[in-house]
């Protein structure tokens, strides 16, 4: 009885820790494989980069504008109008769009669209034994499949972060205009509060989000089992783990950024 | 490599579930190209290989026969280093696979051609490029020479007219034949077939078996076929190893296995419902 309860509590935890350990090992192998010659993954890198770009840009555009206009835009504008400080909306958008919403929406949309596609693709190849065939033919799947996805997702999420910042700001401008606010004060408070730390922090955070998405989604795809149902399960798990991992990383990164750059806490 | 002994007791002979596992190995007179030595492999609580002792002779067509879910495909993955044993050793021409470092393992795999269950063709490449893939990956041959080899192999398996087709445009039988052509393209010393008859109708299974025999007669090498189809075994095999519950029940030249007194072997090779093998 005690053993059964202990097993029910302990075994899933052990399984989870083993998976996390495997993903850490995969990260290490991916970085080593990316750096160590030869570099056969150039073509696949470009193709993955363009693939993600093509799939993600439009959904990201719509999501960023809608969420920025809807959440910090309308909600914050209502609140600031009550306080008679609608001109602070620009300053608030530094916090909302650059530091948080830009990277988080980018990672969510990239994970939901490109990450799931990667897991489904690799999962299907695993089920069809293509990955085994590659290994038997002397092709290292980490170097040839994981590395290009890892690098392309890092690059593309960093670029998309800038894209999301622009369209996030557009949502803020829209909110200011709808509330009858001239744009001069919006820009004034926006630029008064923006620092280069905010910008590189946002891009770096997004880049690491991309790395997490690539590792989790590749791992889940390459370890899929149980036929079509198993691939579906792997996709679902990949998305859940990516959101959890990126949410946790976001908290740690934000704390570290604020601790090492306390000046960005000061509202000007 | 020494010829294996006549009798190989397999660990826990007293256990009731292994009462039919006599471990008898009828001598073949040739050294073993592939050897499993007391191999154990488990996936969680599922113990797939339970002290597997197996030798497959060089230059012959060997068949590993056994009921579904008894660890046959796991054996193939151990041979090419896609899986490692929890205990025991796997030797390929005397070389221990689990102790090979990655670069030597990739080198060792060049000895192998593998036909996976569904062909395992790369979905993004057409038939020609699939078969040319190993040549482009591992050799310095020019495109003209590659074309000559690929077309020869594709004609050999009867797919010379389908080179531009994508894998999803091929039938199950065509995918297997294409996988066979790709497995042969580097002239491997050892060719492994993972259930080549699965999903095929009896006529196409017979044709594929004929093809395996013809290609072996022409090229030689050690062929290992994993199957649970008795007819395929009777048609193709020169050597049979019967696998059940992760251990070899009995193995040896086909003629001797077909005359075996072992009740399990007799039941399995004759496909009868009465005998030690039930639905469990």
Question: CA-CA distance, A211 to A216, in Å (whole number)?
Answer: 9
Chain B residues in contact with A130 (beta carbon < 8 A): 120-123
End-to-end CA, chain A? 62
Mean pLDDT of B50-74: 88
Q: Which domain holds residue A25?
A: 2-265
| Cα–Cα nearest to A222, from A89, A119, A135, A75 | A119
Beta bridge partners of A75: none
Question: CA-CA distance, B272 to A40, in Å (whole number)?
Answer: 53
Model pLDDT for residues B133-180, shown as the tens digit of each residue: 999 888 889 999 999 999 998 988 888 888 999 999 998 888 888 998
The mean predicted confidence, pLDDT, of chain B is 84
Question: Does A7 contact chain B (CB < 8 Å)?
Answer: no
Shortest Cα distance, chain B CAs vs residue A57, angstroms = 24
Chain A residues in contact with B112 (beta carbon < 8 A): 136
Question: CA-CA distance, A107 to B196, in Å (whole number)?
Answer: 44
Mean pLDDT of B34-49: 89
Better-scored residue on pLDDT, B84 or B21:
B84
Partner B, chain A 126-155, Cβ-Cβ below 8 Å: 128-130, 132-140
| A56 Cα distance to chain centroid | 12
User: Is the pLDDT at B9 greater than 60, yes or no?
Assistant: no
* Polymer length of chain A: 268
Mean pLDDT of A62-87: 87
Shortest Cα distance, chain A CAs vs residue B183, angstroms = 9
Flag if B123 and A136 touch (Cβ within 8 Å): no
Question: Does A125 contact chain B (CB < 8 Å)?
Answer: yes
Q: Label residue B278 by pLDDT band (50, 70, 90).
A: low
DSSP state, residue A136: H
Question: CA-CA distance, B132 to B157, in Å (whole number)?
Answer: 15
User: Which residues of B have a CB under 8 Å from any CB of A?
Assistant: 77, 80, 82, 106-107, 109-110, 112, 114, 116-118, 120-123, 133-134, 137-138
Reading the block at residue B133, the tokens are 């893939």
Q: Label residue B4 by pLDDT band (50, 70, 90).
A: very low
Confidence at residue B2, expressed as pLDDT on a 0 to 100 scale: 36
Contact B92, B54 (CB under 8 A): no
Chain A residues in contact with B109 (beta carbon < 8 A): 135-138
Out of B110, B120, B133, name the one closest to residue A129 (CB): B120
Beta bridge partners of B242: B65, B250
Contact B35, B231 (CB under 8 A): no
Model pLDDT for residues A9-35, shown as the tens digit of each residue: 777 788 888 999 999 999 999 999 999
- What string of H, E and C letters represents the secondary structure of B41-91? EEECCEEEEEEEEEEEECCCEEEEECCCCCCHHHHHHHHCCCCCCCEEEEE
Query: What residue of A is the nearest CA neighbor of B184?
Result: A137
Query: CA geometry: angle at A72 spanning A68 and A78, to 5°?
Result: 130
Contact B127, B159 (CB under 8 A): yes
| A229 Cα distance to chain centroid | 26
Shortest Cα distance, chain B CAs vs residue A228, angstroms = 15
Tokens 């740690």 belong to residue:
A252
**A148 three-state secondary structure:** helix
Out of B114, B122, B123, name the one closest to residue A136 (CB): B114
Flag if A137 and B109 touch (Cβ within 8 Å): yes
Domains: count for chain A: 1
- Identify the helix (H) or strand (E) that includes residue B188: none
Question: CA-CA distance, A208 to A225, in Å (whole number)?
Answer: 28
| Cα–Cα nearest to A123, from A30, A227, A206 | A227
CA dihedral A221, A226, A228, A234 (to 10 degrees): -30
* Polymer length of chain B: 280
Query: What residue of B is the nearest CA neighbor of A136?
Result: B109
Model pLDDT for residues A111-131, shown as the tens digit of each residue: 999 999 999 999 999 999 899
Flag if A130 and B118 touch (Cβ within 8 Å): no
Q: Is the peptide bond before A38 cis (omega within 30 degrees of 0)?
A: yes
Question: CA-CA distance, A168 to B213, in Å (whole number)?
Answer: 67
Interface test with A, best of B43, B74, B120 (most A CBs within 10 A): B120
Mean pLDDT of B182-211: 85
User: Is the pLDDT at B7 greater than 50, yes or no?
Assistant: no
Flag if A132 and B109 touch (Cβ within 8 Å): no
Mean pLDDT of A170-186: 89
Confidence at residue B12, expressed as pLDDT on a 0 to 100 scale: 46
Interface test with B, best of A136, A143, A228 (most B CBs within 10 A): A136
Confidence at residue A238, expressed as pLDDT on a 0 to 100 scale: 96
Query: What residue of B is the nearest CA neighbor of A132?
Result: B82
Q: What are phi and psi of A262, to 5 degrees?
A: -65, -20
Flag if B80 and A136 touch (Cβ within 8 Å): yes
Question: CA-CA distance, B147 to B236, in Å (whole number)?
Answer: 30
Question: CA-CA distance, B73 to B224, in Å (whole number)?
Answer: 11
Question: CA-CA distance, A196 to A175, in Å (whole number)?
Answer: 25
Cβ neighbourhood burial of A35 (10 Å; 0-12, 13-18, 19+): exposed
Interface test with B, best of A137, A139, A143 (most B CBs within 10 A): A137
Interface pTM, i.e. ipTM = 0.77
Chain B residues in contact with A137 (beta carbon < 8 A): 109, 133-134, 137-138
Task: Give the pairing of strands B61-65 and B46-57.
Answer: unpaired
Question: CA-CA distance, B49 to B38, in Å (whole number)?
Answer: 9
| Cα–Cα nearest to A134, from B255, A126, B225 | A126
Give me the domains of chain B, ranges plus CATH numbers.
16-270 (3.40.50.300)
């Amino acid at each position: 009885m005690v053993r059964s309860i202990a097993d029910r509590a302990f075994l899933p935890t052990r399984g989870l820790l083993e998976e996390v350990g495997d993903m850490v090992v995969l990260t290490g192998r991916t970085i080593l494989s990316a750096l160590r010659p030869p570099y056969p993954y150039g073509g696949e890198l470009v193709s993955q980069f363009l693939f993600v770009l093509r799939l993600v840009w439009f959904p990201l555009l719509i999501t960023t504008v809608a969420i920025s206009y809807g959440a910090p835009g309308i909600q914050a504008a209502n609140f600031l109008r009550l306080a008679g400080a609608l001109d602070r909306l620009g300053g608030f958008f530094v916090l909302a769009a650059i530091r948080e919403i830009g990277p988080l929406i980018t990672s969510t949309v990239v994970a939901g669209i490109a990450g799931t596609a990667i897991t489904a693709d690799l999962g299907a190849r695993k089920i069809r034994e293509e990955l085994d065939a590659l290994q038997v033919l002397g092709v290292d799947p980490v170097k040839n499949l994981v590395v290009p996805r890892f690098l392309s997702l890092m690059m593309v999420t960093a670029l998309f972060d800038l894209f999301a910042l622009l369209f996030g700001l557009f949502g803020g401008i829209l909110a200011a205009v709808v509330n009858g606010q001239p744009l001069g004060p919006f820009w004034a408070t926006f630029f008064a509060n923006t620092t280069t730390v905010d910008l590189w922090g946002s891009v770096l955070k997004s880049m690491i989000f991309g790395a997490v998405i690539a590792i989790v989604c590749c791992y889940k795809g390459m370890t899929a089992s149980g036929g079509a149902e198993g691939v579906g399960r792997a996709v679902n798990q990949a998305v859940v783990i990516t959101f959890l991992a990126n949410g946790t990383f976001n908290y740690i990164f934000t704390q570290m950024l604020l601790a090492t750059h306390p000046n960005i806490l000061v509202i000007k | 490599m020494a010829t294996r002994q006549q009798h190989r007791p397999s660990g826990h002979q007293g256990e009731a579930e292994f009462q039919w596992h006599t471990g008898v190995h009828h001598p073949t007179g040739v050294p073993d190209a592939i050897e499993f030595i007391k191999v154990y492999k488990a996936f969680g609580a599922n113990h797939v290989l339970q002290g597997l002792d197996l030798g497959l002779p060089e230059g012959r067509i060997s068949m590993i026969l056994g009921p579904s879910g008894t660890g046959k495909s796991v054996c193939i993955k151990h041979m090419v280093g896609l899986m490692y044993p929890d205990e025991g050793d796997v030797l390929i021409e005397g070389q221990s696979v689990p102790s090979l470092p990655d670069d030597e393992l990739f080198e060792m795999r060049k000895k192998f051609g593998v036909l996976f269950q569904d062909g395992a063709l790369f979905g993004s490449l057409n038939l020609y490029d699939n078969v040319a893939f190993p040549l482009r990956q591992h050799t310095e041959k020019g495109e003209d020479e590659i074309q000559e080899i690929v077309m020869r192999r594709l004609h050999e398996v009867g797919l010379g007219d389908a080179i531009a087709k994508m894998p999803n445009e091929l039938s199950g039988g065509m995918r297997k034949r294409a996988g066979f052509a790709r497995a042969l393209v580097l002239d491997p010393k050892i060719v492994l077939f993972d259930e080549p008859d699965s999903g095929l109708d009896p006529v196409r299974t017979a044709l594929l078996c004929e093809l395996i025999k013809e290609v072996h007669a022409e090229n030689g090498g050690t062929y290992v076929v994993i199957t649970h189809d008795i007819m395929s075994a009777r048609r193709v095999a020169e050597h049979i190893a019967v696998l059940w519950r992760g251990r070899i029940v009995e193995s040896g030249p086909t003629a001797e296995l077909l005359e075996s007194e072992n009740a399990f072997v007799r039941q399995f090779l004759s496909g009868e419902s009465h005998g030690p093998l039930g639905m469990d």
